[in-house]
Amino acid sequence: MEAWPIEEAFVVRPLASLLFAALLPVVLDAAPRRALSDPGARDRARAATRSVGLGLAFLVGSTALGPPLAEAEGGIASHAAGFLCASAFALVDARWVGAPRFRALAAGFTLALVVGGVAAEALAPWGIFVTAAAVVAAGAAGYRPRTPTGPDAAIGWVTGLGVAAGLAALVALPVPMTEIVPDDAPTYGDATWRLRVDPWDEQAMLANAWESRRRDELDTSLAQAREAARMGLLDGPRLELEAELHAARGDCEAAQRTFDRAIRARAAEAFDVDEIIEPLVLGGYQLPPTLLTRCGGLEHRPGLMPL
């Protein structure tokens, strides 16, 4: 059994991102076409929806591959996937809705590519968002209105931006709704839906690893824990789970050693700051249940026993 739904992460999600980018122009054009009768207002609504839609297509595409291929948030593979989805948006829009100024759009994409190359290094992990803003600017140049200003121009801008902002909010809403607090991961349960929203969320992978442990799927749990570490999980939570897995296999000596490493890792993470300006609480580590019940837990740590 794979560490996580590999086909969803590397096949379904990228293809779904391309499909989303291809359908987005048609969806964005439907509301202004029905709501606005003035050609000038409709043209301005289309410019607003297209520029924001390009940035949204880029963002969705850039998160389709994630750190395992990009090697870092906002890496080359993520940018390439984002520009692929933005290009699909522009091509479908040109075929079915209204052609942009391709020369201006190409120049804007080139500038966004340069900005993305700088942002990926200097502004990580926010480089993707900076590049997306540059893509929106490219869309503003490529889709600027062609018709003269009319009396309903302001209505067109407001309508277009409202439609685009509403769709962006709808797409972004599952992210905060499914987010997992790090301390809750061991007791969260199955986090498959969170991984469908963000396949590269290390806390969701850790939650699934603990859930696999509860099902006694020890090999799967270990694979998921190590996958979570590859996604960016800190050593402390991973080692706590590995100590639990050693205890579940009856290797109490390895479980004790691994839990000691987990405590040291937690301490190193807590003190890994340049300056401490507030009282520091060293704690928060999870006590592996099977280590306590099967391996004697804390009895070899007399300094902790009065607790």
pLDDT in tens, 4-47: 555 566 677 788 888 988 888 888 887 777 777 777 788 888 88
Last residue of a domain, which of 172, 190, 223?
172
List the structure tokens of 253.
């000596």
Same domain, 230 and 285: yes
Name the 3-class secondary structure at 291. Answer: helix
Let me know if residue 306 belongs to a domain.
Answer: no
Let me know if residue 256 belongs to a domain.
Answer: yes
Domain that holds residue 287: 182-294
Least confident of 3-7, 14-18, 137-141, 237-241: 3-7
Comparison of pLDDT for 278 and 306, the residue scoring more: 278
Let me know if residue 303 belongs to a domain.
Answer: no
List the structure tokens of 234.
């800190």
Question: What burial letters (b/e) apply to 50-59, b meaning 16+ CB within 10 Å?
Answer: bbbbbbbbbb
Q: What pLDDT is recorded for position 213?
A: 93
Same domain, 51 and 192: no
Let me know if residue 307 belongs to a domain.
Answer: no
Same domain, 152 and 32: yes
Same domain, 26 and 68: yes
Same domain, 11 and 100: yes
In the chain, how many domains are there?
2
Question: pTM of the prediction?
Answer: 0.71
Same domain, 134 and 212: no
Answer whether residue 303 shows pLDDT above 80: no
Query: Mind listing the pLDDT tens digit for each residue in 62-91?
Result: 877 655 444 445 567 778 888 889 889 888
User: What's the 3-state SS for 134-196?
Assistant: HHHHHHHHHCCCCCCCCCCHHHHHHHHHHHHHHHHHHHHCHHHHHCCCHHHHHHHCCCHHHHH
CB atoms inside a 10 Å sphere around CB 114: 12
Last residue of a domain, which of 144, 172, 200?
172
